[in-house]
Amino acid sequence: MEIKTFEEFDLDAKLLRAITEMGFEQPSPIQAKAIPVILEGKDIVGQAQTGTGKTAAFGIPLLQMIDTKNKNLQAIVLSPTRELAIQIAEEFRKLSKFSHGIKILPIYGGQDITKQIRSLKGGVQVVIGTPGRVMDHMRRHTLKMEHVKMVVLDEADEMLNMGFREDIETILTAIPDERQTILFSATMPRPIMDIAKKFQKNSEIIKVVKKELTVPKIEQYYYEVKRRNKNEVLSRLLDIYAPKLSLVFCNTKKGVDELVEDLKGRGYFAEGLHGDMKQQQRDRVMKRFRNGQADILVATDVAARGIDVDDVEAVFNYDLPQDDEYYVHRIGRTGRAGRNGKAFNFVFGKEIYKLRDIQRYCKTKIVAKPVPSVHDVTSTKIEKVLNQVTEMIENEDLETFITYIEERVNQEDITSIDIAAALLKLAIGQGENANDATFDFGETGAQDGMVRLFVNIGKKQGTRPGDILGAIAGETGISGDLIGTIDMYDRYTFVEVPRECAKQVIDVMKDAKIRGKSINIEPANSK
């Protein structure tokens, strides 16, 4: 892998700052190749699979060339669907967060056109639109093309499949010839090349070439998870498989920091590694990981590049990698020297297609697995402990301990089975003191002995305090009497629960619904 940085592109400092804030650590392969060429002013045809960062590949050079003092329309992005138009606009807004004076507007069918016209009159430099709606505005002369310097066709193959060919040609014809024309597509069928030939000048074809990739023979699984459930699923897998050392990959630095915080909060020994850290910090983290003081290392691709640890038993792709090659690099960190290794992939929504591509290009099989339930976690833990127990009974001298048990059984009205059960509960970490009474929720503004929780649902959603009480009592089995003050506002609610139940309430309620709505629940900030 060639190392490239965003700094090398000679970008505006404000743009670079936004990229850093978004947590992008390095350009993805298509970005590394396309950005410099687009910045030179050349036309390109870019081809890369989904999820490889194509939006920023054209978004970064596009935003770089916008003249903020000029309030005319300067760039148009055509997108096949309104959802995509909105997504692109969102990514552009993040990228231009610090570049004051850039106005971006998505325009698509189904939205009130007079509203769009009003927004356009306010001086919009970048429009992201579906072809039909762009045509509509052209007819009404509400989109003026004279100053357009760049036009991007995103998901061009998709637009052609949807029958937008004529519209696209009309739009391209209406934009001045001196413009730059950028075309992105996941596939390169004939009609795309025709458009390129007709509307581009000496365009350069930029592809992320696929190398033959060989994946080490390790077990690979995937789990379909909602984004907000990733942390919970990760902890369950960590509990079930109990890998000696695990490596967890996130795509952004921000992702690494947030996940490490969360895992620490859940009581895991996790450390993060990313490109923003000083060498000294990285050395410290690696030392803790090597000597087992931390058994989970959360890292970005860049940061993980240099590390060389042999007994990593599990690799988690918390975020799927931006490139197939990264996948191979990532999972190559486990199963070394003939050891058993496992790779776990989290897949969210459409990412399933990316996974399919990875399997195809890496010629490997990634097996679907159901998300383990809390019950699975408990039974795995129990089984493990009981196996250890059987082994101890066979191999170790337990006489002294037997004496203690006998004494208790003789003195009190309990059986040895009662004792065994209680010890088992202790051993899997569900004993009373192992309960989360000591968990630090910070200052939540609750009465003594209570923790105040924030729930993102309120009166406006048609909820009543009784629903919150009922849901918590019902889902967690905690008696309703124990639940304290409930303060309900329009869009959120505060509820106090006993400190020793707070962690359980949060864990259980995170996956629960109140009045059919998924909720977010967390310790409140102090009043």
Q: According to the binding rule CB under 6 A, does residue 54 interact with ligand ADP?
A: yes
The residue nearest Mg ion at its CB is 54
Q: According to the binding rule CB under 6 A, does residue 51 interact with ligand ADP?
A: yes
Q: According to the binding rule CB under 6 A, does residue 28 interact with ligand ADP?
A: yes
Q: Characterize the bridge pairing of strands 521-523 and 367-368.
A: unpaired
Q: Characterize the bridge pairing of strands 296-299 and 270-273.
A: parallel
Q: Write phi, then psi, for 299 (nearest 5 degrees).
A: -145, 160
Please tell me the distance from the alpha carbon of residue 231 to that of residue 318, in angstroms, as a whole number: 9
What track of x and - describes contact with Mg ion for positions 27 through 56 (by CB under 5 A)? ---------------------------x--
In sequence order, the 6+-apart residues with CB closer than 8 A to the CB of 5 are 26, 27
Q: Write phi, then psi, for 95 (nearest 5 degrees).
A: -65, -30
Using CB under 6 A, which of the segments 50-58, 262-270, 387-395, 492-500 binds ligand ADP?
A: 50-58
Closer CB to Mg ion, 85 or 343, in the complex? 85
Closer CB to Mg ion, 155 or 325, in the complex? 155
64 binds, among Mg ion, ligand ADP, none (CB under 5 to 8 A by kind): none
Distances (CA, A) of 398 to 384, 391, 392, 405, 425: 19, 12, 8, 11, 20
| Bridge partners of residue 40, in order along the sequence | none
Distances (CA, A) of 279 to 143, 305, 521: 51, 14, 37
Q: Smallest gap, in angstroms, from Cβ of residue 76 to Mg ion?
A: 16
Please tell me the distance from the alpha carbon of residue 97 to that of residue 160, in angstroms, as a whole number: 32
Closer CB to ligand ADP, 27 or 129, in the complex? 27
Using CB under 6 A, which of the segments 44-52, 64-72, 130-138, 447-455 binds ligand ADP?
A: 44-52
Residues 85-104 interacting with ligand ADP (rule: CB under 6 A): 91
Q: How many residues does the chain have?
A: 527
Closer CB to Mg ion, 54 or 354, in the complex? 54
Q: Smallest gap, in angstroms, from Cβ of residue 60 to Mg ion?
A: 14
Six-digit token pair at 305?
A: 């590049």
Q: According to the binding rule CB under 6 A, does residue 106 interact with ligand ADP?
A: no
Q: According to the binding rule CB under 6 A, does residue 27 interact with ligand ADP?
A: yes
- State the residue for tokens 């060639």: 2
Q: According to the binding rule CB under 5 A, does residue 236 interact with Mg ion?
A: no
- Strand spans (E) along 328-471: 342-347, 367-368, 450-455
What track of x and - describes contact with ligand ADP for positions 230 through 269 (by CB under 6 A)? ---------------------xx-----------------
Q: According to the binding rule CB under 5 A, does residue 266 interact with Mg ion?
A: no
Q: Characterize the bridge pairing of strands 493-498 and 450-455.
A: antiparallel
Using CB under 6 A, which of the segments 51-59, 162-170, 214-222, 365-373 binds ligand ADP?
A: 51-59
Six-digit token pair at 520?
A: 């977010």
Q: Characterize the bridge pairing of strands 517-518 and 521-523.
A: unpaired
Q: How many residues bind Mg ion (CB under 5 A)?
A: 1
Q: How many residues bind ligand ADP (CB under 6 A)?
A: 15
Q: Smallest gap, in angstroms, from Cβ of residue 86 to ligand ADP?
A: 12
> Under a CB-based contact definition with an 8 Å cutoff, are residues 276 and 253 in contact?
yes
Position 386: which residue type? L
Residues 435-494 interacting with ligand ADP (rule: CB under 6 A): none
Closer CB to ligand ADP, 22 or 423, in the complex? 22
Vertex 384: Cα angle to 268 and 344 (nearest 5): 55
Closer CB to ligand ADP, 98 or 454, in the complex? 98
Closer CB to ligand ADP, 354 or 499, in the complex? 354
Binding site residues, Mg ion, CB under 5 A:
54
* Binding residues vs ligand ADP (CB under 6 A): 24, 27-28, 31, 48, 50-56, 91, 251-252
